Chain A
Amino acid sequence: MRISPWSTPVLVVAAVLITFVITAGPILLAGANPVEAYAAFVVIPLTSQFTLLEVLVTATPILFTGAAVAIAFRAGYWNIGAEGQLLLGAIAAAGIGTLVGGLPAIIALPLMIIGGALAGAAWALVPALLRVRFGIDEVVTTLLLNPVALLLVNGLLHGPWRDPVTGFPESPRIAVAAEFPTLIERSRLHLGFLVALVVIGVSWYVLARTPTGLRLRASGLSPHGARFAGINVSRTLLGAALISGAIAGIAGVSEVAGIQNRLTGGLSPGYGYTGIVVATLGTLTLPGVALAAVFLADLTVGASSAARSLGIPSQLGAVVQGVLLLTTVALLAVRRHRLGRTTGRDAGSMTGDVAAEAQPG
């Protein structure tokens, strides 16, 4: 578009810089040099092989949830339920994982991934149907199903799935054949990362290059215009919601089979919600999601090492992430306001604006 100072990459970089200026205050209060702290947050994790691989491990679940959220949002379906869909995927993986002991990994792993995807999609189905059939706001229904999914996890862990050996509220360990292999010796980087890259790549291709993707984008940009052009908007929304749930479900599989090897109550520290942050920072494009997920993972790993090296609270990492989200959303809102005035276009929702400005993919 013609407004280059407001193009999406420029805007995100500006948001990062503004965030650093704003968070310099808290860092000074914590008694550290802001420049050193940002170096520790952003640069240090990328300088050793071990921390670099940890960044990718940390990025894996939010690559999935970021993609899940971005796809749904691009279709105009506000899926806030990736957290619950992830947990359902994890439940399915933990269940299937204990049953596939006799099978070779080449069969066991796809079974788990498919099972987790179906479970996540199933959890997304009811809100999607309610939206398409009765116009019930999916923001509320998908959000409220998240704690329900967590209750389901805890119910299983304190009931039928409690570890019979230790008595801890954890499910029994999954079969060895069901564990995701590590990709690099002596690291935690596992198959889930590769699966996430494949999901991102395929999603990008479908969204940017296929008629289905164009229908999905059209439905998100203008449901009325899309319907007028003969696109079945309801079916598109339903499809986007289910695919989104399926991808979030695979995130759960990846955490169970790649990291925990069992279902635990603390499996997800809010990866589903972080997915919304990732999708927003990535301006709802899949390459953007990939960059944003790695950047947030970088900050997370950096903040925990900075806590040790600089003696500042590791929560500062979360502060930086939070401020970054707010500045990004604020800049998007300012841009919408300015563009709205210059083009006379109706202002959409804030995330709708992200979708509107996003390049294909």
Chain B
Amino acid sequence: MTDSTPALELRGITKRFGDLVANDGIDFDVRGGEVHALLGENGAGKTTVMRIAYGLTQADAGQILVGGHALAIRAPRDAIGAGIGMVTQHFALVRPMTVAENLALGRSRGLRLDLSQAGRRASDASERFGIRIDPTARVEDLSVGEQQRVEILKALSRDCRILILDEPTAVLVPGEVDALFATLRALVADGLSIVFISHKLAEVRAISDRVSVLRRGKLAGTVAGSTDERELARLMVGRPTFGVERPPDATVPSGAFALSLRGLHATGPQGLPALSEVSLEVRAGEIVGVAGVSGNGQTELVEVLSGMRRPTAGSVSVGGVELSRADPARMMRAGVGRIPEDRHASLIGDLSVAYNLVLERLDDFRRGGRIDERMVREHAAELMERFDIRARADDPVASLSGGNIQKVLLARVLSRDPRVIVVSQPTRGLDVGATEYVREQLLARRAAGAAILLVSEDLDELLALADRLVVMYEGRIVGEMAVADADLEHLGMLMAGRGMAA
């Protein structure tokens, strides 16, 4: 079924973004007629390495070989010329145009659009691979699954022999997943090579001949597609290094529920259901960790608790006050401190540090009709000292480093002594010093009696900080456990949607 020379081979691919090593010497190959899955948590470096293979990003070190020959791939057109196609999570289709027009766009030279040829190619491909699509349909009228088929057709119409699919099932409903898998099997039967990026164990096992697992930018192992889920989960999650910072003698929290969610439902940005039947409680003096691969409703959960998204059903209450219809200002008045994952978007990058620190409570800083600039500066100086923000008060926030931006947000939130803190990915992208600082601050608030809901993709972080964990998968809470009893394999299975099998 497979021949010996890999169709695509990556050797020692290394890529850094600032201090972050996204890919660390990754070796990967895919043969003709094979589906090779790339498995890992979000941020493990799966997408980055394949973006390098497709020319969307350049590697800092390493080699790309196609059919045994080293190639310099500087842009997608180099990759396309070498027979590599990629379907990214965000489709590159012109929505008001028809399928045939979209297919013709990528191929046409000169001024003429050869629509009849594009239409013919589309029907050829439909016949050969069972990709059913009406060439005259407008893309915007198609379902997401159909749009994905157009993207695959587009790659095939450029004579691609190596097809990279980045989380192709993330946007599909279950029936569409089966159709996609049937298509992929037809393609490999025709001798194509497929790289299948995913974090879902069941899918990876269902479709792959081999699986390479990435963990924190490194290759954790390459195993057969038939490897059992426990082993895959173990490779994916790894064995965390316990740098537990939570004092072991910490009292088990037994206070009243400070934050309580009941039967919460909400939709995501495209109006699709993102949260369903989410119920959880956080006591005063407790940190509840939310584990899960990103995109499983955590963002929407934090948005609801930030007052940025109205739930479609269910209740949110803080200290007994109903807040499911609260806006951000009301949430803050109720004592909820919010530190979302997108810290840049939660501040005003072009405004000064000092103004950002007072933006939530401008009315406390007015004298008569005007802003009391001296008070603003004194407040900034005090918080910058207390939270070790290394910048000047009138620097625009956007000019700060990631760690200092996070400290600005942290200072703005913690200076108001919130009873409830909702915090997401608090240390993502931060260096070691800033990470420790942020974690210490959260633990200090816990000790002071705040109820903290901590969303993180970093299991080490959750295990180090949280008292209890809940696991989210596809908008639901699929498991709950005390950190003391946490079993990593079980946790990995829950995160990958295999709660029932465990």
Contacts and interface: CB of A to CB of B under 8 A. Distances in A.
Nearest to B330: A230
Interface stretch (B181-189, B230-238, B359-367, B469-477): B359-367
B103 to A, nearest CB: 30
Contact of A228 (B345, B350, B355): B345
Contacts of B338: 228
A215 B351 contact: no
A205 to B, nearest CB: 8
A229 interface: yes
Contact of A211 (B345, B347, B371): B371
A18 interface: no
Contact of B360 (A2, A230, A343): A230
B371 A214 contact: yes
B369 interface: yes
Contacts of A230: 327-329, 332, 359-360
A214 B348 CA distance: 11
A338 interface: no
A222 B348 CA distance: 6
A284 to B, nearest CB: 12
B362 A215 contact: yes
A228 B349 CA distance: 13
A345 B398 contact: yes
A272 to B, nearest CB: 28
Nearest to B359: A229
B346 A225 contact: yes
A222 B369 contact: no
Contacts of A221: 348-351
Interface in A191-247: 205, 209-211, 214-215, 217-218, 221-222, 224-232
Interface string A1-20: 11000000000000000000
A244 B96 CA distance: 36
A108 interface: no
B355 A214 contact: yes
Interface size class of B (residues with CB under 8 A): 20 to 34
A225 B347 contact: yes
Nearest to A231: B359
A145 interface: no
Contacts of A225: 345-349
Nearest to B396: A1
Nearest to B376: A214
B208 to A, nearest CB: 36
A210 B371 contact: yes
Interface in A326-358: 343, 345, 356-357
Interface in B322-365: 327-329, 332, 338, 340, 345-351, 355, 359-360, 362-363, 365
B370 A217 contact: no
Nearest to A219: B348
A218 B345 contact: no
Contact of B363 (A209, A211, A218, A343): A211
With most chain A CB atoms within 10 A of its CB, the pick from B346, B359, B360 is B359
Contacts of A218: 348, 351, 355, 359
With most chain A CB atoms within 10 A of its CB, the pick from B348, B363, B370 is B348
B193 interface: no
Contacts of B398: 343, 345
Contacts of B306: 228
Nearest to A2: B399
B144 interface: no
With most chain B CB atoms within 10 A of its CB, the pick from A222, A230, A343 is A230
Contacts of A205: 370
Nearest to A352: B350
B471 to A, nearest CB: 27
B360 A229 contact: yes
B308 interface: yes
Contact of A210 (B345, B351, B355, B370): B370
Contacts of A209: 370-371
Interface size class of A (residues with CB under 8 A): 20 to 34
A222 B347 CA distance: 8
Nearest to B398: A345
Contacts of B355: 214, 218
A217 B347 CA distance: 13
Contacts of B328: 227-230
A356 B371 contact: no
Interface string B363-404: 101100111000000000000000000000000101100000
Contact of B346 (A2, A228, A232): A228
A320 to B, nearest CB: 32
A171 B202 CA distance: 79
Contacts of A232: 327, 329
A1 B351 CA distance: 12
B349 A211 contact: no
Contacts of A224: 345-346
A249 to B, nearest CB: 24
Contacts of A215: 362
Contacts of A222: 345, 347-350
A227 B307 CA distance: 9
A230 B399 CA distance: 23
A217 B351 contact: yes
A347 B235 CA distance: 39
Nearest to A342: B399
A345 B398 CA distance: 7
Interface string A95-106: 000000000000
Contacts of A229: 328, 348, 359-360
Interface in B280-315: 306, 308
B351 A211 contact: no
Given A228-B308, A228-B338, A211 B348 contact: no
Nearest to A222: B348
Contacts of A227: 308, 328
A6 to B, nearest CB: 14
B33 to A, nearest CB: 41
Contacts of B332: 230
B331 to A, nearest CB: 8
Nearest to B360: A229
A221 B355 CA distance: 13
B247 to A, nearest CB: 33
A224 B348 CA distance: 9
Interface in A120-138: none
B366 A211 contact: yes
Contacts of B329: 230, 232
With most chain B CB atoms within 10 A of its CB, the pick from A1, A210, A211 is A211
B266 to A, nearest CB: 17
A232 B330 CA distance: 11
B391 to A, nearest CB: 13
B350 A211 contact: no
Contacts of A226: 348, 359
A214 B308 contact: no
A225 B359 CA distance: 10
B404 to A, nearest CB: 14
A224 B169 CA distance: 30
Contacts of B369: 210
Given A225-B347, A225-B349, A226-B348, 9 more contacts: A211-B366, A211-B370, A221-B350, A222-B345, A222-B350, A225-B348, A230-B360, A232-B329, A345-B398
15 contacts: A210-B366, A211-B362, A214-B371, A217-B351, A224-B346, A225-B345, A225-B347, A225-B348, A228-B308, A228-B338, A228-B345, A229-B359, A230-B332, A230-B359, A232-B329
Q: Which 3 residue pairs are nearest across A and B when measured between Cβ atoms? A: A230-B329, A211-B362, A229-B359
